Amino acid sequence: MIVLGLESSCDDTAAGIVQDGKELASIVASQDDVHGPYGGVVPELAARNHVVHVVPVVRRALEVAGLSLADVDGVAATMGPGLVGCLLVGLSAAKSIARARGLPFVGVNHIEGHLLSIELDEALRRPFLGLVVSGGHSALYWAGEDGSYGLLGSTRDDAAGEAYDKAAKLLGLGYPGGREIEKLAREGDPTAFSFPRPRVKGAELDLSFSGLKTALRLTIEKSPDARPADVAASFQAAVVDTLLIATRRAIGATGAKTVVVTGGVSANQALRKAMEAMAEEEGADLRVPPLKRCTDNGVMIAYAGWRRLVRGESDPLSLNARATLPLGPRMAIGS
Ligand code: KG4
Ligand code: ZN
C-alpha cells in the first residue's frame, strides 16, 4: 500500500510517501528565511507560505518516488495540534487529492507522527515512554501495548523549542534558535551561570520553561559583559536538565524499558548525550530517530496514516483541523 502524507502544522510544508511502511520520498520546504527576521513563527505568514509550497512538495515527492498520483492508495494529513490556518492548507490539499482520485483519507495527530517516526528505520516494541520536544510541544506520553496513548505530563507554559527560540532572540542569534544556541554553547561553560531547573509542584511530570526565559533575560540585563557562549551553555544545561529530570521521574513512575525522544529539540546533541547516560543508569533502552526525522516532516505523517489505512480505517472528508488535539487521556500516574 502506497500512502502520501502531508504536514503543515507549523512552519514546514512537507510531503512524504511510504510503501508498506517504508519511506519512498520525504520533501520538506522550510520557511526559516520567512520567520527568521521575527525570531519566531508568524502564523499568518506561515499559512500563506504553505499555500505556495503545498503543491510543489507533493509533485517533488512523487517525482523522487518515481510515482504518479495514480499509484497512490491513500492520503494522510496532519489534522492537529497546530496552527489552524496552517493545518487547513495541508488538510485541504490532502482531502482534494483523496476526493479527486477516490482514495481513502485519514487525519493524523502530529504528536503520533513524531512518536512513531522511529519505526520508519527500526522496529519499536510497545509499551514505551515518549518525550516529544519541539517548538510547539513538550510532553511525556505513555504508548500502551494495545496502541493507546496516555499523557503523563506536559509543559504548563512554553515548549522547550520555544524557550530555545526566545533565548536565541534575547542573545541576538538567528532562527530557529535551538541550532544557534547549541552551536554557541559548544564554546561556553555550562556552569558559568546557575539557571533554575523549574518543577511543577504536585505534578512532577509537568514541565515549565517560562521562568527560565525570565532568568535568562535578567542575567543578560545584569551581566551585559557576560560571554554569550557561557550564557548559551548555561541556559542549555538548564533545559537539558529539566527534560532529563522529568523523563527520569517518568521512567520511575511507569517502569518503562524503552524511551523514545523525538521532536525538533531532540536534534540537540547535548540532550541526546545526557539522555543516553540517564537511560543507561535507569536500565532503559533509549531510541532517538535520525536527525532528519526529528524535525517536522511528511513521511512520519504518511507512516502514521498508513498504519490506520492498512487496517481499513479512514476518516470522512468533513474532518476538520484542530488547534488542540489530545493524543490520549491524562494519566494519573506520577501526578
Ligand atoms: O519539531 P519541529 O521541527 O517543529 C515543531 O513541531 O515545533 O521543532 C522545531 C523546534 C524549534 O523550536 C527549534 O529551535 C528546535 O526545534 N530545534 C532545536 C535544535 N534544532 C531544532 N533545539 C535545540 N537544539 C537543536 N539542535
Ligand atoms: Zn513537530
| pLDDT surpassing 80 at residue 225 | yes
How remote is the CA of residue 128 from the centroid of ligand 1, in Å?
22
Looking at beta carbons, which pairs linking 199-202 to residues 24 or more positions away fall under 8 Å? Answer: 199/242, 199/245, 200/156, 202/335
- Could you give the CA distance from residue 259 to residue 180 in angstroms, rounded to a whole number? 27
Strands 258-262 and 128-133: parallel
Is the C-beta atom of 303 inside 6 A of ligand 1?
no
For the CA of 236, the closest atom of ligand 1 is 23
pLDDT digits (tens, 9 = 90+) for 127-178: 999 999 999 999 999 999 999 999 999 999 999 999 999 999 999 998 889 9
Q: Are 14 and 29 in contact (CB under 8 A)?
A: yes
- In this structure, what is the dihedral angle of CA atoms 68, 69, 73, 79, given to the nearest 10 degrees? 130
Cell output for 259: 524511551
How remote is the CA of residue 103 from the centroid of ligand 1, in Å?
33
Report helix, strand or coil for 331.
Answer: coil
DSSP state of 10: S
pLDDT digits (tens, 9 = 90+) for 35-60: 989 888 999 999 999 999 999 999 99
Predicted confidence at residue 201, as pLDDT, reads: 84
- Could you give the CA distance from residue 86 to residue 9 in angstroms, rounded to a whole number? 5
Domains and CATH numbers, the chain: 2-115+293-309 (3.30.420.40), 126-288 (3.30.420.40)
Q: Is the previous residue joined to 104 through a cis bond, with omega within 30 degrees of 0?
A: no
